[in-house]
Amino acid sequence: MKKKVFVFFPDGVGLRNFAFTNFKSIGEKMGFHITYWNNTIFSLKDNLGFNEVNIEDHSAHPLLPIYSRARKRAELNVSKDKFQDDVYATYKFPFNYKGLKNIFKSLYVKWLIGLYSSEKGITKLRNKINKLERSTSKYKYCKVQLEAHKPDMIFCTTQRATQSISALLAAKDLGIPTVAFVYSWDNVPKAMQVVETDFYCVWSDLMKAEVLKYYPFIKENQVFVTGTPQFEPHYNESLLQTREAFFKAHNLDVNKKYICYSGDDETTSPLDQYYLEDLANAVRSLNKKGENLGIIYRKCPVDFTSRYNAVIETNKDIIAVLNPIWRQVGKQWNQVLPTPEDFKMLYNVCEHSEFVTNVCSSTVFDFVAHNKPCIYYNYEQPQLKKGIRDIGQNYKYVHFRSMPSNKAAVFCTDKNDLESLVKQILDGQLSNVEQCKAWYKIVAGKKPTQASKTIWKIIDDILK
């Protein structure tokens, strides 16, 4: 009899990895009966023809945001003290004191942080959060669904969504095994593990060590290294278009060489538009010296700002805008959902660009899968002033300490060096590809093409 697995989407961030890749077809070939347990507003049945069970009750306890924020800050405080490292303080978002309601919430959170900033305190906070969520109508609703459908396992596609807590508690209380996938390469040190499940799937040995380091209540035999399906499409050659076909489809000049500028969200890089402007100026200068270059600007899918518009308009002879093919189905950042078509676009942007430039983005790994270099900007802009976040702190984060050398990316630390770095890469005199491949292996695991299959094998082993 086929084992029934619920693939749980608490929000839309997991769609890219677990709905639009070959994850489902691989699982079905291995003999699983797969149903998507869907907490999002994206219909997997209507759009993809998948079996789904929709969660219609989205209630959460009114105190959940307050306790969750306190839990995160308490964990960061414990890490700061435990590891004697000030980097953890930089992961904190500032408190909001605008209006009486926000003042009250912020003061309440600060009181909880003061009370629970210890390992025992964090356990109490997590228990309190679980108690709050067990009291919600969503917990009861999910329990009824699980009793009706009787899945053998719940596979949760991200560990960081508070919307998943009540559903997973319902599964746990019914004795259904639960597995959570740790979603992103930077999540573990940032105290973004919201859920507690029976097992965890992580990208790499590095991430496994981090989970065990930061969460001592998790045991070694609960954590499995699987890789991530995130990069699997880069090895799917059926997505490849010829240079001519891709350029024609997106009105690009076939005679130009293009550099990809991969945009960042406003939190990570608040002055990102000025780095695009710097690249445009470098390209314009090189074109005057005989090059024929253009820029493909691919924005961050969850950036809704107009901050790049002036730079793009001024440099429209150089910059071609190829927006990600994502669909906005709500106002929140996690309600901007990827589409299967975007895999093809990203594959070909990587394949047909000379290299990528950005501020500390994981697109360095997308491009190295295509043997393409990356320039990371790491200098201050003159527009930087009090209240604007300096991008330099990004490179001090824990996940950047995984770099095997500072040559795993080409760092531009001075605006005046940018043109020279671009020219050296174009001429084949400078590259980070080999060093970055070593970094990619550390971060994403040793078998980037096998992640989906490995996850299903782990699920099979657990169920046996």
Give the model's pLDDT for residue 293. 98
pLDDT band at 188 (very low <50, low <70, confident <90, very high): very high
Average pLDDT, stretch 414-422? 98
pLDDT at 1 over 90: no
Helix, strand or coil, per DSSP, at residue 205: helix
Could you tell me the pTM of the whole model? 0.94
Give the model's pLDDT for residue 105. 95
Pair of tokens at residue 461: 């082993």
Q: How open is the CA angle 254-427-248, to the nearest 5 degrees? A: 10
Instruction: Please check whether residue 425 is in contact with residue 432, taking contact to mean a CB–CB distance below 8 angstroms.
Output: no
pLDDT at 333 over 80: no
Average pLDDT, stretch 65-91? 97
Q: What is the mean pLDDT of the chain?
A: 95
pLDDT band at 78 (very low <50, low <70, confident <90, very high): very high
Summarize the chain as % helix, strand, coil (round to 5). Answer: 50, 15, 40
List the alpha helices (DSSP H) in 135-201: 137-149, 165-173
Buried b (16+ CB within 10 A) or exposed e, 319-349: bbebebebeeeeeebbbbbbbeebbbbbbbb
Give the model's pLDDT for residue 331. 63
How many helices (DSSP H) and strands (DSSP E) are in the chain? 17, 15
Phi and psi at residue 7, in whole multiples of 5°?
-90, 115
Report the C-alpha gap between 327 and 338 in whole angstroms: 6
Tell which residue, 125, 165, 88, has the closest CA to residue 397: 88
CB atoms closer than 10 angstroms to residue 448: 21
Give the model's pLDDT for residue 334. 58
Average pLDDT, stretch 87-98? 94
Give the model's pLDDT for residue 335. 66
| Residues 6 or more apart whose Cβ sits within 8 Å of residue 7 | 18, 23, 24, 34, 35, 36, 37, 155, 157
Average pLDDT, stretch 318-323? 97
Q: Average the pLDDT over each of 77-86, 102-111, 296-305, 412-421 and give the range with the smallest value.
A: 296-305
pLDDT band at 12 (very low <50, low <70, confident <90, very high): confident
Instruction: Please check whether residue 105 is in contact with residue 96, taking contact to mean a CB–CB distance below 8 angstroms.
Output: yes
Give the model's pLDDT for residue 302. 84
Give the model's pLDDT for residue 431. 97
The angle that helices 119-134 and 100-116 make with each other, rounded to 10 degrees, is 130
Average pLDDT, stretch 46-65? 96
| DSSP code at position 305 | -
Report the C-alpha gap between 159 and 340 in whole angstroms: 23
| Residues 6 or more apart whose Cβ sits within 8 Å of residue 270 | 388, 389
